[in-house]
A and B are shown apart, each in its own frame.
Chain A
Amino acid sequence: MNYSYYPGCTLKTKAQGLEACAFKSAQVLGVNLVEQEEWQCCGAVYPLAADEIGTKLASVRSLVAARTKGEKLVTLCAACHQVIKRVNHDMKTKEDMREKVNNYLQLKEDYQGESEVIHYLELLRDEVGFESLAKKVKVSLAGRKVAAYYGCLLLRPREIMDFDDPERPTILEKFLESLGASPVNYPYRTECCGGYLSIEREEVVEKMVNKIIDSALQQGAEEIVTACPLCKYNLENSSLCQKGEIVVSYFTELLAESLQVKEG
């Protein structure tokens, strides 16, 4: 099946591993991800101000392109997913913004939030199915104690993201189980890593990430997986990670490993 794919800035630079593994795995799973031709950076954070329209236009352009192709729009970076999904929700529900955006873009047909945005994990769960994924696993990750780290952007706000239970999510654990790994349950898996605060408040972030990693270690985790490049950076920058207590990788890296497509 064909899907429009929105990569985002970081997946073409610092987080190439996240994307490469997702693409190789998708091929094996019979999913055809086609990168959008003229995607623009989503801006990395959803503009929370109700009076900001210009900063939301890049997302609308990608949403319109997906509508033209009649395909679902797949995201991989948690931040892009949050931005594009929330802008789509605005276009669906906020008449004032919808009118301004359409007046500005002058499309042949007004955009009203018709496209569907799904994250790669939702693609695996809802389109491929974790059961059929499990059948395609070549190298089981049996015995590996993996802590799933969700962070904020995929889960909250629940009403808009509609991804999983924001306090007790299970999608990453079910994903890990389908690869044969043993997911580790720990209380801080949905706690914020500090996100962009690492630009000017490193000392605040340091405390936040150490709490998360400490919590995972206490429950016996040997590695952490995440879907967000900034979460990965913040977690890896923590003193606990620097000491080599735990490794952090993208969930797609484990996926590619178990499907035996990671190398080459």
Chain B
Amino acid sequence: MLREKITPDTTKKEIGQISEISDEKILDCLQCGKCTAGCPAIHGMDIMPHQVIRLLQLGQVDKLLASTTIWGCAACFTCLSRCPRKVDLSKIMEALRLIVLRTKGNQRLEIDKVPELLAKQIPQQAIVSGFRKYVK
């Protein structure tokens, strides 16, 4: 059986960025899986929420940055409210999204899309949220 040490790859600059942006401690997670069990948006994710932290613990950031999971998180805080170690996964997901969004050319919502959204009767609140969550 393959054994891997739980030591974050500190040579990866993104690991440092994630702990700075999120202000969360990824080593606090003990992989109980309650976040995954309770996640209401799980069907839109290719990597399960508890695996997100596991991959970070192993320093494997690239898989996460390319995942659908980080864009499928609705920031509903159910995972945090059930976490026995009080790890705020929503903040880690946000940090992962921001690493993508703060890189030039990675914006996900264009201003031209607003009229189309308004035509769908979508509330302003959602459009404002969109510009906070998908554009930096």
Q: Give the interface of A toward B (CB within 8 A).
A: 8-10, 13-15, 41, 43-45, 47-51, 55, 77, 79, 152, 155-158, 166-167, 191-192, 194-201, 203-204, 207-208, 211, 229-230, 232-233
Contact = CB atoms under 8 A, between A and B. Distances in A.
B20 A14 contact: no
B23 A50 contact: yes
Interface stretch (B4-12, B27-35, B53-61, B73-81): B73-81
A43 B80 CA distance: 22
A55 B136 CA distance: 11
Contacts, number: 133
Contacts of B123: 10, 13-15, 229-230, 232-233
A186 to B, nearest CB: 15
A198 B81 contact: no
A47 B135 CA distance: 13
B44 A229 contact: no
Contact of A192 (B40, B127, B129): B40
Interface of B: 20-23, 40-41, 43-44, 71-72, 74-78, 80-81, 88, 90-91, 94-95, 98, 108-109, 117, 121-130, 132-134
A152 to B, nearest CB: 4
A74 B4 CA distance: 52
A75 to B, nearest CB: 13
Contacts of A156: 76-78, 80-81
